[in-house]
Chains A and B, each alone.
Chain A
Amino acid sequence: MNLYKYASPSAFYPLAGKMIPWFAVSAAIFFAVAMYFGFVLAPQRAGDQNQVYHIIFIHVAAAWMGMFLYVLMAIYAGIGWAFNARLASMMASSLSITGAIFTLLSLVTGSLWGKPTWGTWWAWDARITSTLILLFLYIGFISLQSAIDDQRRADKAGAVLALVGVINVPIIYFSVQWWNTLHQGATIRLLEKPKMTSPMLIAMLVMLVACWLYSIAVVLIRLRCIILEREQNAAWVSEGAA
């Protein structure tokens, strides 16, 4: 199978269409399993934390997705720019919306956790502030794309912004180590024994997988829309128009 074939929008379009239902259905199953582990099997209290800790499952998954999707978006935007690959640029545009939504979700759920725990909805702490900057980077990328009429120029401008903004991702990740933050340290570290009981850990990881599957499904659906919108004058699209 020639994989390069799928770098062209016309070949990728039907392939993505076949993949979407599988990702969507498995995302729903994983969400349900995560909720079952998180709310039924996990203990009511976690260490010194009361039941409000249940927010952690969606909060951590959303925060991770916000960062992962940003890096992915920057890579695709960079590829689209460097190799003049229009499908990669379309992928970056598609990723930006879902990434922004997860980043917003991590900020809102963090706020809902902060109020009963710290007594405040918001703090200008290093991690929270850098996550807010991540949201602004996404919004900047999205508005830049819609503000520039020439699509390929918009892609280039977006790529520059996305690549410069990548520096913010390690800042978010290491902020809890570099600065003395109100936000607690990492919950899970590689190569270290996790500080949580196993149903909690399973709930968190399954939720993360669910968010990945969800993201793949919606990003592919949006990518198909973007392909149609941008290539509507191309023969493979217009020939099929009724």
Chain B
Amino acid sequence: MNWSEFFSMGGYGFYVWGSYITALILLGGEVLLLGRRKRALGNRVNRDQD
């Protein structure tokens, strides 16, 4: 099986890859926003506790 065949998924590429890209966007977005929230809090905790 070559790559273009692999990506076309028998003509269902939009649906199959769309699903995995949605997963990537939702979960990646969650991680990104969480990173921002964490940075906004800064390093407030006593260093020897962390």
> Taking beta carbons and an 8 Å cutoff, which residues of A are in contact with B?
10, 13-14, 17, 39, 44, 50-52, 54-55, 58-59, 62, 97-98, 101, 104-105, 108-109, 112-113, 115-116, 214, 218, 221-222, 224-225, 228-229, 232, 236-242
Contacts and interface: CB of A to CB of B under 8 A. Distances in A.
Interface string B13-50: 00110111011001100110010011001111111011
Interface residues on B, range: 20 to 34
23 contacts: A50-B12, A51-B12, A52-B12, A54-B16, A55-B16, A58-B19, A58-B23, A62-B23, A101-B27, A105-B23, A109-B19, A112-B16, A112-B22, A116-B15, A218-B30, A222-B37, A228-B44, A236-B45, A237-B45, A238-B44, A240-B49, A242-B42, A242-B44
A41 B16 CA distance: 16
B35 to A, nearest CB: 8
A218 B46 contact: no
Contacts of B11: 51
A240 B41 contact: no
Contacts of B44: 228, 232, 237-238, 240-242
Contacts of A112: 15-16, 18-19, 22
Nearest to B1: A44
A225 B34 CA distance: 8
B31 A228 contact: no
A119 to B, nearest CB: 12
Contacts of B31: 218
Given A55-B15, A242-B43, A50 B30 contact: no
The 10 closest A-B pairs by CB, nearest first: A240-B46, A51-B10, A52-B12, A240-B45, A109-B19, A51-B9, A55-B19, A112-B15, A241-B44, A54-B16
B10 A221 contact: no
A63 B36 CA distance: 27
A108 B27 contact: no
A229 B27 contact: no
A108 B19 CA distance: 7
B28 to A, nearest CB: 11
A52 B15 contact: yes
A237 B44 CA distance: 6
Contact of B10 (A44, A55, A62, A218): A44
Nearest to B6: A39
Given A218-B30, A228-B44, A239-B46, 16 more contacts: A17-B50, A39-B6, A50-B10, A51-B10, A54-B9, A112-B16, A115-B15, A116-B15, A218-B31, A224-B38, A225-B37, A229-B41, A236-B45, A236-B49, A240-B50, A242-B43
